[in-house]
Structure 1
Amino acid sequence: MFTLLQTDPESKARRGRLELAHATVETPCFMPVGTRGTVKSVHPAELLDPALDTRIILGNTYHLFIRPGTEILGSFGGLHRFMRWDRAILTDSGGFQVFSLAKLRQIKEDGVHFRSHLDGAALFLGPETALEVQKVIGSDIAMILDECPPAGCGRDYAEQSLGLTQRWAERSRDWIEAHRPEGQRYFGIVQGSTFADLREKAARDLVSLDFDGYAIGGLSVGESDPELFAAVEAAEPHLPVEKPRYAMGLGQPDQLLELIGRGVDMFDCVLPTRVARNGTAYTADGTLNLKNQKHEKDDRPLAESTHPLCEGFSRGYLRHLIKNDEILGLRLLTLHNLHFYLDLMKQARRAIEAGVFAHFRADFVRRYRDAAA
């Protein structure tokens, strides 16, 4: 499934390759988020086009479970056929959304009892249920159910939560042994809040269950960058080098490079598409808020490198589109931001291959953060 091709001599950055049922994915990689079976405002053909060449996207089990539901997805033969996407899909377990969106949730040993945020319907998601839903979805990579403790939780809560997550992981392993669909891979999720020893314990315990890959969860719930990096550094040495590592829900461009340098291979985040809809573009010199009046007469392009469909459009024109809520504006910024993220991963891979990733990271982070200062 995963081949480690090269490591960086001055960091823990890794160059690898994921062989999945629907695509070969070069790592480090970024996965655009297609929460409900679509990357917002982007046609699948645009994701496939060489300008983006997206090999894998993320779908959300919670949202797909609620709507359209497993009966409809099953009738279409799964999400790939439903959305006309013939490359890879990773689905999260739905746990994070249950804890953050669902109404009146109750966490019990058997799973999570909750009410839909749409209509209040009573629903249940347990370790086995989460995998059964993802089996119907037909994702290339399925995540096991975990509990994501809230930012700033105390040690007692973090320990109890971690124990529950581990027991759910053991039940998930039993389900996988009995029901593993052909072509589907499974990742365990390392939790432990901001406690280094709990992160280490979680990694060791999960590895004993021999999942196909390992995610580090609970990293985008309000913690500081030093806490985020420390959580990864605590878990990473205890994860097998021959399997992929995935930082869930991250993040800003500089964070991605910092975590690649700490041994992470895979990322997803809603930011490039979400902030585009609010008029913000990512560049190597930081972010551009095109709603700012200073861009009104700016005839410069968005950035030195952008998506081909964005070439030739000025910042002033794009601001005009955004200020008038024109759909073209949010589409162009979305394509630009996805291009920026995916191209950043391509640059990172090349830097690792050349043995200069540490220098590439330092130069990018300095330029990006200096612009924001």
Structure 2
Amino acid sequence: LTDSGGFQVMSLAGLRKLTEDGVTFKSHIDGSKHALSPERSMEIQRLLGSDIVMCFDECPALPADRKRIEESMRLSMRWAQRSRDAFGDRPGHMLFGIQQGGLEQDLRAESAEALTAIGFDGYAIGGLAVGEGQEAMFGCLDFAPDQLPEDRPRYLMGVGKPDDIVGAVKRGIDMMDCVLPSRSGRTGQAWTRRGQVNLKNARHADDPRPLDEDCTCPACRNYSRAYLHHVQRAGEMIAGMLLTWHNLHYYQELMGEMRDAIAAGAFDAFEARFHADRAAGDIDRL
């Protein structure tokens, strides 16, 4: 799965010019200009060999005024049609449309209607996790997924922390993506059933116990907290490698547990246990 460049349209706002045709970026290195349009985005993702392609969109960072959100959403819908036309007929590959509209229920509904009329293989909910906070995000997810077709995957972009993921799945989300497992691993942060653990903290310096005694990843099976603390503080590359390995393992287990709970009709029990484990906090200091 590849993104279209739409996030960079937002995050590099100070280095780009936005028009109906697309976006022109100015390189922060040498000042050269680079154009990206719906058609060019489809071409790049095809050349990358993507299985799941995202249509090219634009969204403002939140908070933003309603007029700005409305104009952005309608531009994204016009770009969605152009993306669909440029994508063409590619058996074995999928194109997802991206719902926009900020936190506004009526604008989200308008966006969902436009995307459904165009027709996509799956539907993403974009424009969240861009500064609005968890409460506002969940408020939007209380209605946004239900506006999209039930017989297609519903994908929340850019999320996120484990409690964000559980809350999103509870509200009808099927897919998510985030850099957090690897970014956290590189900075000494580990995600466990009992919450986040900062391996930089001195409390781990002489702790022979594993990061998580119930985890079967190589970092937990073969290394102690003391070792992980040491290589993190020493700046050794293996620190980020092992913690990223652990974080990815934890995230995969979390997703698997949710799939099993949904299949068994026991998601509420899973959610209660998930929050109880996190509330217990990390293991006591030696």
TM-score, with normalisation over the residues of structure 2? 0.94
- CA gap of 1:300–1:124, structure 2 versus 1, over 3 A, is same
The equivalent residue for 1:172 is 83
Q: How many residues align?
A: 281
1:280 and 1:333 in contact (8 A); partners too? yes
Distance 1:338 1:271 in 2: 9
1:109 and 1:164 in contact (8 A); partners too? yes
* 5+ residue gaps, structure 2: none
- Establish whether residue 243 from structure 1 lines up as the match of residue 152 from structure 2: yes
Letter in 1 for 2:218: P
Distance 1:343 1:165 in 2: 35
From 185, 202, 208, give the equivalent of 1:299.
208
For 1:317-362, what per-residue CA distance to the aligned partner results, in whole angstroms no more than 9, with x for missing partners?
1100100011111111010000000111011111111110121012
Letter in 2 for 1:344: L
Query: What secondary structure does 1:347 align onto?
Result: helix
The equivalent residue for 1:346 is 256
For 1:261-288, what per-residue CA distance to the aligned partner results, in whole angstroms no more than 9, with x for missing partners?
1111111111110011111111111111
Query: What secondary structure does 1:305 align onto?
Result: coil
Distance 1:240 1:284 in 2: 33
Distance 1:139 1:145 in 2: 14
The equivalent residue for 1:327 is 237
Note the 1:309-324 alignment, pairs <5 A. Answer: 309-324=219-234
For 1:210-234, what per-residue CA distance to the aligned partner results, in whole angstroms no more than 9, with x for missing partners?
1000000111111111211122222
Note the 1:201-216 alignment, pairs <5 A. Answer: 201-216=110-125
- Establish whether residue 277 from structure 1 lines up as the match of residue 186 from structure 2: yes
For 1:256-311, what per-residue CA distance to the aligned partner results, in whole angstroms no more than 9, with x for missing partners?
01111111111111111001111111111111101011111111110121413541
Letter in 2 for 1:301: P
The equivalent residue for 1:5 is none
Greater RCO (Cα-Cα under 8 Å, separation 6 or more): 1
Shift of 1:183: 2.0
Distance 2:194 2:19 in 1: 47
Distance 2:195 2:148 in 1: 33
- Establish whether residue 199 from structure 1 lines up as the match of residue 108 from structure 2: yes
2:84 and 2:95 in contact (8 A); partners too? no
Distance 2:252 2:176 in 1: 11
1:306 and 1:340 in contact (8 A); partners too? no
From 46, 50, 60, give the equivalent of 1:149.
60
The equivalent residue for 1:104 is 15
Query: What secondary structure does 1:311 align onto?
Result: helix
Distance 1:104 1:272 in 2: 28
Query: What secondary structure does 2:215 align onto?
Result: coil
Shift of 1:104: 2.5
The equivalent residue for 2:246 is 336
- CA gap of 1:183–1:119, structure 2 versus 1, over 3 A, is farther
Note the 1:118-157 alignment, pairs <5 A. Answer: 118-157=29-68
- Establish whether residue 232 from structure 1 lines up as the match of residue 155 from structure 2: no
1:103 and 1:120 in contact (8 A); partners too? no
Query: What secondary structure does 1:242 align onto?
Result: coil
* 5+ residue gaps, structure 1: 1-89
Note the 1:29-178 alignment, pairs <5 A. Answer: 90-101=1-12, 104-176=15-87
Letter in 1 for 2:144: A
2:218 and 2:242 in contact (8 A); partners too? no
Letter in 2 for 1:358: D
Query: What secondary structure does 2:18 align onto?
Result: strand
Shift of 1:116: 2.7
The equivalent residue for 1:368 is 278
Distance 2:107 2:281 in 1: 36
User: Which protein has the bigger helix share?
Assistant: 2
- Establish whether residue 359 from structure 1 lines up as the match of residue 282 from structure 2: no
- CA gap of 1:111–1:316, structure 2 versus 1, over 3 A, is same
Structure 1 residue ranges, 4+ long, deviating more than 4 angstroms after superposition: none
Letter in 1 for 2:43: E
User: Which protein has the bigger strand share?
Assistant: 1
2:15 and 2:28 in contact (8 A); partners too? no
The equivalent residue for 1:220 is 129
Distance 1:119 1:103 in 2: 15
Letter in 1 for 2:269: H
